[in-house]
Amino acid sequence: MFDSVGWGELIVLLIIGLFIFGPDRLPEAAAWLGRSVRKVRDYATGARQQLRDELGPEFDELQKPLNDLRGLRNINPRSMVTEQARKLFDEEPETPNRASGANRKPVTAPRPVEPALKPGERPPIDPDAT
């Protein structure tokens, strides 16, 4: 729970608590906070265990999407886009030799061939585009 709170933040919170509660009531407030956090953690663990007991093997299937969402935190958007582009254009994954761009073919989409206009002929007008 306190993974993101460092020592500096903890000291600042302690000083703020010292000003708010005073030196006499600060130990009582810290003990109350510790007990409350422990109770909430126990409730959450109990609820998770109760769900696991009631759902059985379906609980693991329910947890798979949540674990997938947690895995999205570590995704680099640039690598995700390049991977999808490789799949789209059926390219091989980049190797260290190809990373520099050597021997790489440019990827271009084929353009539709339009008939050439005769001299003096006007191009067709698209009323939806104007």
pTM over 0.75: no
Among 95, 96, 79, CA closest to 87: 79
The answer for residues whose C-beta is within 8 angstroms of residue 17's C-beta and 6 or more apart is 26, 29, 30
The label of the residue with tokens 């353009």 reads: 111
| pLDDT confidence of residue 38 | 94
Q: Enumerate the domain spans of the chain.
A: 7-66
| pLDDT confidence of residue 106 | 64
| pLDDT confidence of residue 19 | 86
| pLDDT confidence of residue 110 | 73
**DSSP assignments along 83-130, one per residue:** HHHHHHHTPPPP-TTTTTTTT-----PPPPPPPPPPTTPPPP--TTT-
| pLDDT confidence of residue 95 | 58
| pLDDT confidence of residue 127 | 78
| pLDDT confidence of residue 46 | 92
Low-confidence ranges of the chain (pLDDT < 70): 1-4, 91-107, 109, 130
